[in-house]
Amino acid sequence: MSRILVTGGAGFIGSHLCERLLADGHQVLCADNLLTGSLSNIEPFFGRGDFVFLKQDVTQFIHIPGPLDAILHFASPASPVDYLKLPIQTLKVGALGTHKVLGLAKEKAAKVLLASTSEVYGDPQVHPQREDYWGHVNPIGPRGVYDEAKRFAEALVMAYHRSHGVDTRIVRIFNTYGPRMRAGDGRVVPNFICQALAGQDLTVYGDGKQTRSFCYIDDMVSGILAALDRADSDPVNLGNPNEYNILELAEKIIALCGSKSNLHHEGLPVDDPKVRQPDIGRARSLLGWEPTVGLDEGLARTIAFFKEQS
C-alpha cells in the first residue's frame, strides 16, 4: 500500500485516478482548488479512512504531514474553453504549481508523474506524433497559455530529475473522454452528447475535417498507472491511436443517441490543430499497455452517464 497525492483529484481524470487507486488498496490524498474540478466527482469517497480531500491551490506552498510515496500532478484547466477563460491560472498552475509539486516530491523522496499533453505538439507537422517530435506551437496565441505551461512543466520536471535526482515520469495525454466530464466543459465529446440528447444542432467548428483520436477514461487510467509503475523519465504518449474527423464523431454520437439533431457549423478556434494522433509504440513496448475500449463502446458508456445527469 502506498500513500499517493493526486493534484487536480476532483477533476475528470484526477477523480478516476483517485477511484482506481483506492480500489487498488492505496491511501489517497486529493488536492484541488475546485476551479474546474467538482466535489460531486469525489463525493463517494468521503467518509473513507483511506481518502483525504485537501482544498488546496497547488501554486501555494503544499504542506503534507507524514510520508508520501508518489504524486500524480493533474491540476490544471484542460479544456480549451476553460483555459481561454482562465489564462493566467493555467500558466500559474503549470509553472508555479509544478514547481511546488516538485519541491514536495524532493522533500518526501516521492515519485512524481506530470500530466502533460498532446498540446505540446501544437498544430503538428509530423503525423502521427512520436515523443521525439518537438512540436509546432504558437507561444503567443490563445492556446499558448496551456501549451507553453505544459512545455515549461516538462522542462522543470526534467531539471528536477537531472539536478536533484527526483524519480519523475511525464505522460503526454491525448484526447480522453468518459463519465464525469462537465456538461459545460466545452470539449467536443460532452458538447456533442449534450446537444444530441437535447435535440439541438451539433456545433461543428470549421469544416469538421480536423481529426482527433479519442481514448476512453478507463484505458487512460490504466496507462497512467502503468507509467507510474514502469516508465522511465522520458515522456511517453498515452492515447488511443484510432483517428476520426469531427464530422465522423458527430454522426456517431447522433446515431448512438438516437437523435434527430443536425449539424451547425461555427468558426474554427484560433490555432486549432488540424490533425492529432498518438504514436503509442513507446507505451506499448515500455509499459505493455494499449487501449482496449473502442469508440462506440466508450461513447455508449459516456452517453449513459450524461443521460443520468439530465
By CB under 6 A, name the binding residues for ligand UDP: 79-80, 175, 186-188, 191, 203-205, 210, 212, 246, 268-269, 272
The yes-or-no answer on residue 83 being catalytic is: no
For ligand UDP, the closer of residues 3 and 143 by Cβ is 143
- Whole-angstrom Cα distance, residue 195 to residue 249? 13
For ligand UDP, the closer of residues 234 and 272 by Cβ is 272
- Whole-angstrom Cα distance, residue 93 to residue 33? 11
Please, what is the minimum distance in Å from the beta carbon of residue 146 to ligand UDP? 9
- Parallel/antiparallel/unpaired status of strands 263-266 and 236-238: unpaired
For ligand UDP, the closer of residues 89 and 210 by Cβ is 210
- Residue 96, amino acid: L
Provide the 3-class DSSP secondary structure of residue 241: coil
Please, what is the minimum distance in Å from the beta carbon of residue 126 to ligand UDP? 17
From the list 146, 160, 177, 216, the catalytic residue is: 146
For ligand UDP, the closer of residues 20 and 127 by Cβ is 127
Please, what is the minimum distance in Å from the beta carbon of residue 12 to ligand UDP? 12
Instruction: Outline where the chain has alpha helix (H).
Output: 12-23, 80-85, 87-92, 98-108, 144-164, 188-197, 217-230, 246-257, 281-287, 295-309
Contacts of 48 (CB under 8 A, 6+ apart): 22
Burial of 6 (0-12, 13-18, 19+ CB in 10 A): buried
Distances in whole angstroms, Cα of residue 150 to Cα of each of 58, 147, 172, 228, 305? 15, 5, 10, 18, 30
DSSP H or E run through 54: strand 51-55
Please, what is the minimum distance in Å from the beta carbon of residue 205 to ligand UDP? 4
For ligand UDP, the closer of residues 2 and 138 by Cβ is 138
∠ CA(304), CA(305), CA(310), 5° rounding? 95
Catalytic center residues: 146
